[in-house]
Amino acid sequence: MGRKKYITSFLCAFSLFSFFACTQRNSTVKPNEIRLYLEAEPYSIDPRIGGNRISQTVVRELFEGLTRLGKDGNPELALAKSISVSDDDLTHTISLHPSVWSNGDPVTAHDFVYAWKSIIDPSFPTSFAYALYDIKNAQKAQTRACSLDEIGIRALDDLTLEVTFEYPTPYSLELFANPIFSPVHRPSAQKNKQWAAQTYPEFVSNGPFIVKKHDLNSRIILETNPLYSKKRAEKTLSFTIINDPNTAFNLFKANELDWFGDPCGTFPIEFLNNKETSLYTKDTGGSFWIECHVTTPHLASPKIRKALAMSIDRKTICQGLLNNTASPSFSILPNSLTLLETPTFEDGNAEKAKKLFKEGLDELNITDYPPLHLMFSASPKNKILAELVQKQIQNALGITVNLAPSDSKTWFQKVSSGDFEISLSHWFTWFNDQYYNLKYLKHKDGGMNGTDWEDPNYISLINQAISHSQTTSRKHYFKQAEQLVMDQMPIIPLFCSDYTYLKPPNLMGEILSSTGQMEFQWLEKVDQCDYTNRD
């Protein structure tokens, strides 16, 4: 797991402790109810569609895949009883534990085959098919180059699943732990295409919880699944949809919420500088960057894009604006995975940025640079970041940068389809291997890559890296690929961010992986009147 840090004021820790102390005995809130929130309605709680962070915060508690996060934050076997790997490291034969859906039907290997193939089906409405491209012929099938029958997924019998990959996947346990690899109850999904908007018993799941209530844009209430294979004490996870972080913060202070911040919502920048606030911050390898649509005429030169990168002062952003809860980044890979010993460009060097920008203008034969539009998902944090980046670029290069905020759903659709010039984006890797971030730009039609950048040399380096199972050989080629993409700069790295959140002292049991996967099923409230310095 990534490092765990505490930014703590003794005065605040004492006041928070006193504020929450002994409230549980006198409160009307059920002691087994954990009151959480989400800053937006999930895209979907169908695991095949809801692949973004907000959606997966809920989906992870509803479904059980082959693996899931253990209490140490690392993946462990879940529905998978055992996994055997072939000598060539390509084929995984997975034996499943007997288990049932929330309606009593048996969970089978066929449920995995159905769910995964439907994600890959080009007619299925999801933006996350790319997550399965490691599987043999998945990308070909998704782009209609072969049939779905040729994908390397099959059920050998009801409790045996065989998955064949295109190349060795040393990160397969992490891959399977992502909720998008969950099974789906085929009869429910085929009977009603809107099944994921239903509640129990129509919403059929197989994880620790069931959907008891789902009021769109208002509240999602999960209760313990009585048929879950691993018995749990009865518990309720209540997610209230709260778009305004100030409202959420005030509810937290009033002891009406048990959580504030990541991954439920973006932690406001202005609260980071509040010395009377006790924060939990954990390094999760999340990356903020600016994506460039490289076929936009005035962004077509790598020199222009690198000039934009050099005009931004990351140290000011990380130390001044973000109060050291982030660190400057100079690569598409998070700082924990980068293979480059030194940055490929200088941070905040306005003089060199201006010189390089002029060279780019001459290269493109542009004399009058048009206004540049910076798109972003309009959270308060993103707005402040976008305004600072806007100011830094304009001051360094003497050009106009117009801000283009949009709601999160519209922003996501525009970025994935390439309908933008430059965009502020937040990206989390799904497993601890260079390949996940690097494959983002492997193909311009790769599913999420809206930059329209593609390079045959880059593709070749990536393919050579993933053909090896040995770490040394993989890193040799990945390093060259990382250098190439940073020379071309379709993505301008900004900083690597921590997860930042608040919780009352008596709330225990959250699990956070080093890649930002949060598991809430183990949360519990300790009777604070008996609480004594537990961590």
Over residues 221-265, the pLDDT tens digits come to 999 999 998 887 899 999 999 999 999 999 999 999 999 999 999
Backbone angles phi, psi at 38, to 5 degrees: -135, 140
pLDDT at residue number 368: 94
pLDDT at 372 over 70: yes
Task: Please list, in sequence order, all residues whose beta carbon lies within 8 angstroms of the beta carbon of residue 239, skipping any fewer than 6 positions away.
Answer: 36, 37, 38, 57, 58, 219, 220, 221, 222, 264
Confidence of residue 29 (pLDDT cuts 50, 70, 90): low
Over residues 143-157, the pLDDT tens digits come to 999 999 999 999 999
Q: Are 52 and 496 in contact (CB under 8 A)?
A: no
pLDDT at 21 over 60: no
Record the pTM. 0.83
ω into 263 cis (within 30 of 0): yes
User: Hunting for tokens 């290997």 — which residue is that?
Assistant: 109
Domain boundaries along the sequence of the chain: 4-256+503-530, 281-498
pLDDT at residue number 8: 35
Least confidently predicted of 24-38, 121-135, 275-289, 473-487: 24-38
Over residues 442-476, the pLDDT tens digits come to 988 766 788 999 999 999 999 999 998 888 999 99
Q: Considering the chain, what is the average pLDDT of its residues?
A: 89
Q: In the CATH hierarchy, which top-level class contains the domain 281-498? A: alpha beta
Q: Are 424 and 434 in contact (CB under 8 A)?
A: no
Measured CA to CA, the distance from residue 482 to residue 274 in angstroms comes to 37
DSSP tag of 98: P
Q: Can you tell me whether residue 290 is helix, strand or coil?
A: strand
Over residues 324-336, the pLDDT tens digits come to 889 999 999 999 8
pLDDT at residue number 515: 84
The number of residues in the chain equals 535
Residue ranges of the alpha helices (H) in 278-378? 302-310, 314-315, 350-364
User: What's CA 433's distance to the chain center, in Å?
Assistant: 15
Rg (the chain; Cα; Å): 24
Single-letter residue type at 510: E
Over residues 310-326, the pLDDT tens digits come to 999 999 999 989 888 89
The neighbouring-strand residues paired with 220 are: 214, 239
Q: In the CATH hierarchy, which top-level class contains the domain 4-256+503-530? A: alpha beta
ω into 201 cis (within 30 of 0): yes
